[in-house]
A and B are shown apart, each in its own frame.
Chain A
Amino acid sequence: MSAPPNTCKEVLSHISGYLDGELDAMACDAIDRHCLECASCAALVNGLRETVGLCRQAATAPLPDAVRQRARESVRRLLDRHAKES
């Protein structure tokens, strides 16, 4: 990266890279410093962090038991049928 983000516009354009850990330490520090002085960018960073966190919680939510059960039964029926045929 050429220059660390300092303005609100620059912070906004680098915010995804910041959340994904793709920025170098200097750029991260610049965003942290900017957020200490800019309430709206700080709110944006926190809001996006919560949004990403909510999505990642969904990633670990197990499927409903009934759906898993039906999936397992379909798989066993398919494999049993093919085992008999071969």
Chain B
Amino acid sequence: MSSADGKAEYAGLVKAAATGDRGAMEALLVRSQEVAYRFSLLVCGHPEDAEDVMQDALIKTYQHVATISEPEAFRTWLYSTVRNACLMKRRRRVGEPSNFVSVERGIETSEGTVHVDVADPSRAIDQRLIDGWVDGRLRQALKRLPASYRMIVVMREIEGLSTKEVAAIAGVSEANVKTRLHRARLMLRKQLEHV
């Protein structure tokens, strides 16, 4: 599917969902979560954040569709929203893995506060799911790219967004996107030779 086709398909779903088409709304919301999952894992590299970012994308998309005035701009809005959710998640949790329960705070239960220091399995995306998804070599190579380059290459090459859309999401010029994509491809090629 070309970038333009993908954008038009999103716009079509948005228009239908805004008129009350439940099937279109369902498809749009599932897609928004899929975008959030891929972005969390491939760009941010934090599988433990994926569940929360997916939930955030679900709620925000549902609220946004009712008020949207430019369906063609939806895809750019979605990726910007997911990107911001990932960044906020990181800022909030610097130094604290999100799938760990705080030793100090513990968990509030009906029988009082339980203090634990183990991973909370209900919040983590199973590593086995990730391993079986995208080519392991590609995931390893992507991890080794600087974050700003990784985001550009994932959005352009994997997500299929246009240069213009990526520029709007990343907040840089289209020329800058092209330069970074060129460098990112060279870096990625080099990394793939070593993984």
Chain A contact residues, CB within 8 Å of chain B: 15-16, 19, 44, 47-48, 50-52, 54-59, 61, 63-64, 66-68, 71-72, 74-76, 78-79, 82
Contact = CB atoms under 8 A, between A and B. Distances in A.
A55 B189 contact: no
B26 A51 contact: no
Contact of A67 (B55, B59, B129, B178): B129
Interface in B37-79: 37-38, 42, 54-55, 58-59, 62
B114 interface: no
Contacts of B182: 15-16
B37 A63 contact: yes
A79 B22 contact: yes
A58 to B, nearest CB: 5
B129 A66 contact: yes
A76 B26 contact: yes
Given A58-B135, A71-B54, 4 more contacts: A58-B158, A64-B130, A67-B37, A78-B58
Interface in B179-195: 181-182, 185-186, 188-189, 192-193
A71 B30 contact: yes
Contacts of A19: 185
A interface, by DSSP: helix, strand, loop or mixed? helix
A75 B58 contact: yes
Given A16-B178, A75-B58, A54 B129 contact: no
A19 B143 CA distance: 23
A52 B160 CA distance: 12
Given A15-B182, A16-B178, A59 B158 contact: yes
Contacts of A71: 29-30, 33-34, 37, 54, 58
A53 B61 CA distance: 31
Lowest 7 A-B CB distances belong to which pairs? A55-B157, A71-B33, A64-B129, A16-B182, A75-B29, A51-B189, A58-B134
A47 B193 CA distance: 9
